[in-house]
Every structure is written in structure tokens, then in C-alpha cells.
């Protein structure tokens, strides 16, 4: 009987991250503000040639390189950041190699590492859920091939200090260090300027969050030109479609939209932080567009209660160190009053 390679056959069954779209989706860290009106205008102006001809990724890479202040040879555009992760891991990681990361973090790292037959070296969190820098340095071995760090992290929202990240990059010249900056815009710290000094450093970005283009699927991988050159050989030439490429340019040009959205998210996460403080619930200081909060043993009832109120939130209690925790995406200013009231009511309900 036909069987896939052992690591693929051994993966758990696939479950879509989208459980429902009935109500306000505060469970996937998408942009609740939608996208720039300029993107929608560009979409409406697309011609037949825009869809009948193969896409030209290189043009988009020049625009993004210019925006990031790096050379086009250092940039690879991908079908969402997920594809960037897949390309990066596949290029450096295989059987007999170690993938090193600290829990809790983005679930795709473990999934890809397993699929490639690599050994997962996962570090257990401390109570503060912060990146355990010393522990991570202590677990580097000659077999370490990829270290993956989301900064700021998902699901905690926490950001690590740049100096600590650089210590890690310096300690493993034989391994690829991925700094996943999916939530960069909500935090402001980046390692892109450090790429010139470290040929083993990669920074990934996405247009799914602050730019509100999750449905178009555009991610960016930036690294040393030589390393990105290897990944480019292996990437599918038409991985990013023409519609996404056309919109990307407009999205980047409308920085006013992004700044306004980021300012509103920062206000919204402050409102959530104040409410949870008042309710006596533990939160972690977020640098992203979501907040992780510990509601306790009745987490499932809380999630259900929110759903009855028309709001989807993510039960994160299965993530290591996140017992009883829920992750909530920040809504728009006009949604926030309703969100805050729903949280108050749902907490009152589970406290009975």
C-alpha cells in the first residue's frame, strides 16, 4: 500500500484553524480594520492581463526591498509567511538535525520540523512565559540547524530584547536563526539592520496582520543574499499571485493606514489590559494585536460564553505554560465597547 514518508504519516490529523466565521473573529489575530481603501481600489481596477498572465514576483521584491532598506537579492516573497517557514525549514533541516525553539510559540514550527523528520528540541517555559535565553543557549548543539523565535511571540504577545536575540544568532554560526516578525508593526523592534553582520540570520514578515491582507497570502523572507539565493532556487516561481502582488504595492504605499491601525490596536490592547487587571486576571504585556489572559479552570465555559455573545476567542490552554489561558485579538475602536462588555459578562457568568 502507498504510504508517505514516515514523518508525514506520523503527523496528527489536520484541523483548520478556522472553527467558525459566525460572529466577530477575535481568534486568529487578523486585522479587524480590514485593509487600506487603496488596496480595494487597486483590486477593482485589475485588468484581464492582471489575471491571465503569470505573476512577476521580482517586481514586488524590488518594492519590498526598497521599503525595508535591503537589496532585492536579500528578499524572497512567499505565499504567506507560512510558505517562507516551509522553504526555510526544508532548506536547512532534515533527519538527524535539531530544530530548537522555546514553548509556547507558533505551532507551525513544530509541525514543519516533524514533517521534515528533524528532532524537536523544545524548551519548557518559565512562569513568565518569556524567552528563556540562557536555556536556549545551553541547548545549542552541533546538530542544531534551525532556531525559530517569534518576536513578538504568539500566543504570549511578549517581545524579547534585541541584544538577547543577537547573542543567540552569534552563538550558532552553523545554524539558521529565524526571527519571525509577523507582529513587527505593533512592536517596532526589528533585526533587519543586523542582517548585514550575520549571514545565518533570517527575518520573516507578513502582510496578514497590520496590513490586513491575510486572505491574499503575502509573506516576506529576508536574509543574506547568498542564503536567500539558495532558497530562491527551490521556491516555486509563481508562488505569489498577480492580484496579491498588485495589492502589495498599494498596501505598502499607504503607510498612513497602517500607522492609524497600529495606534488603534495599541489603545485596544490597553483597554483589554485595564479590564483584565480590574477583573484580577493575569495577562502578559502584549506587543502584538492580541492579548493572552489566564481566565482559569473554566476556560472552556468562558470561550463558549463569548461565542454565545457573538465573539470568537482562542482557547490557548493546550499551549505549554498556558493552562487556563485565552488569546483575544484586539477589535476596532467601534467593536471594543461590545467586546469589553461581553468579557465582563462572560467572566461574571463563569464566576457564577
Taking a C-beta distance cutoff of 8 angstroms, is the pair 332, 32 a contact? Answer: yes
- Distance in angstroms (rounded) separating the CA atoms of residues 68 and 203: 11
Question: Of 91-110, which residues contact ligand PMP (CB under 6 A)?
Answer: 106
Is residue 151 close enough to count as binding ligand PMP by CB under 6 A? no
Distance in Å, CB of 301 to ligand PMP, minimum = 25
Q: Of 81, 131, 295, 339, which one interacts with ligand PMP (CB under 6 A)?
A: 81
Judged by CB under 6 A, which stretch of 65-73, 79-87, 161-169, 224-232 contacts ligand PMP?
79-87
b/e sequence 195-210, b meaning 16+ C-beta within 10 Å: beebebbbbbbbbbbb
Peptide bond into 155 cis (omega under 30): yes
Q: Among all chains, which residue has been given the C-alpha cell 482559569?
A: 296
Distance in Å, CB of 208 to ligand PMP, minimum = 3
Peptide bond into 104 cis (omega under 30): yes
Distance in Å, CB of 250 to ligand PMP, minimum = 18
Q: Of 27, 61, 98, 180, which one interacts with ligand PMP (CB under 6 A)?
A: 180
- Distance in angstroms (rounded) separating the CA atoms of residues 124 and 320: 7
Nearer to ligand PMP, 150 or 247 (CB): 150
Q: Of 24, 25, 27, 29, which one interacts with ligand PMP (CB under 6 A)?
A: 29
Nearer to ligand PMP, 244 or 275 (CB): 244
Q: Give the residue among 81, 133, 128 at the shortest CA–CA distance from 102.
A: 133
What cell numbers appear for 49 in the block?
A: 492581463
Judged by CB under 6 A, which stretch of 75-83, 114-122, 188-196, 324-332 contacts ligand PMP?
75-83
What cell numbers appear for 10 in the block?
A: 506520523
Nearer to ligand PMP, 148 or 195 (CB): 148
Kindly report the CA angle at 111 between 143 and 295, in degrees rounded to 5? 115
Q: Of 149, 150, 169, 343, which one interacts with ligand PMP (CB under 6 A)?
A: 150
Residue 12: partners with Cβ closer than 8 Å, 6 or more residues away: none
Question: Of 209-228, which residues contact ligand PMP (CB under 6 A)?
Answer: 214, 219
- Distance in angstroms (rounded) separating the CA atoms of residues 113 and 110: 5
Distance in Å, CB of 182 to ligand PMP, minimum = 4
By CB under 6 A, name the binding residues for ligand PMP: 29, 80-82, 106, 150, 154, 180, 182, 206, 208, 214, 219
Amino acid at each position: 500500500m502507498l504510504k508517505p514518508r514516515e514523518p508525514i504519516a506520523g503527523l496528527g490529523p489536520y484541523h483548520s484553524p478556522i472553527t467558525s466565521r459566525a460572529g466577530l473573529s477575535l481568534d486568529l489575530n487578523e486585522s479587524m480594520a480590514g485593509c487600506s481603501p487603496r488596496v480595494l481600489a487597486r483590486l477593482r481596477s485589475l485588468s484581464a492581463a492582471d489575471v491571465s498572465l503569470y505573476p512577476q514576483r521580482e517586481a514586488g521584491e524590488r518594492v519590498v526591498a526598497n521599503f525595508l532598506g535591503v537589496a532585492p537579492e536579500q528578499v524572497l516573497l512567499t505565499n504567506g509567511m507560512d510558505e517562507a517557514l516551509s522553504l526555510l525549514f526544508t532548506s536547512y533541516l532534515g533527519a538527524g538535525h535539531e530544530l530548537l525553539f522555546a514553548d509556547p510559540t507558533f505551532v507551525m514550527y513544530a509541525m514543519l520540523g516533524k514533517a521534515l523528520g528533524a528532532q524537536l528540541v523544545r524548551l519548557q517555559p518559565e512562569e513568565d512565559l518569556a524567552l528563556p535565553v540562557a536555556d536556549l543557549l545551553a541547548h545549542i548543539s552541533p546538530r542544531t540547524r534551525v532556531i525559530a523565535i517569534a518576536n513578538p511571540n504568539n500566543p504570549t504577545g511578549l517581545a524579547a530584547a534585541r541584544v538577547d536575540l543577537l547573542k543567540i544568532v552569534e552563538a550558532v554560526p552553523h545554524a539558521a536563526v529565524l526571527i519571525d516578525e509577523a507582529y513587527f508593526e505593533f512592536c517596532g523592534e526589528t533585526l533587519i539592520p543586523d542582517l548585514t553582520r550575520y549571514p545565518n540570520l533570517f527575518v520573516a514578515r507578513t502582510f496578514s496582520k497590520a496590513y490586513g491582507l491575510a486572505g491574499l497570502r503575502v509573506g516576506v523572507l529576508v536574509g543574506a543574499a547568498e542564503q536567500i539565493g539558495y532558497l530562491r532556487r527551490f521556491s516555486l516561481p509563481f508562488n505569489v499571485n498577480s492580484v496579491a502582488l498588485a495589492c502589495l504595492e498599494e498596501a505598502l504605499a499607504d503607510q498612513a493606514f497602517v500607522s492609524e491601525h497600529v495606534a488603534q490596536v495599541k489603545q485596544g490592547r490597553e483597554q483589554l489590559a485595564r479590564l483584565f487587571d480590574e477583573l484580577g486576571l493575569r495577562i502578559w504585556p502584549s506587543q502584538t494585536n492580541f492579548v493572552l489572559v489566564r481566565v482559569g479552570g473554566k476556560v472552556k465555559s468562558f470561550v463558549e460564553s463569548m461565542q454565545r455573545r457573538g465573539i470568537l476567542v482562542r482557547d490557548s490552554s493546550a499551549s505549554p505554560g498556558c493552562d487556563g489561558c485565552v488569546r483575544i485579538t484586539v477589535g476596532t475602536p467601534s467593536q471594543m465597547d461590545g467586546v469589553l462588555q461581553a468579557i465582563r459578562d462572560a467572566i461574571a457568568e463563569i464566576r457564577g
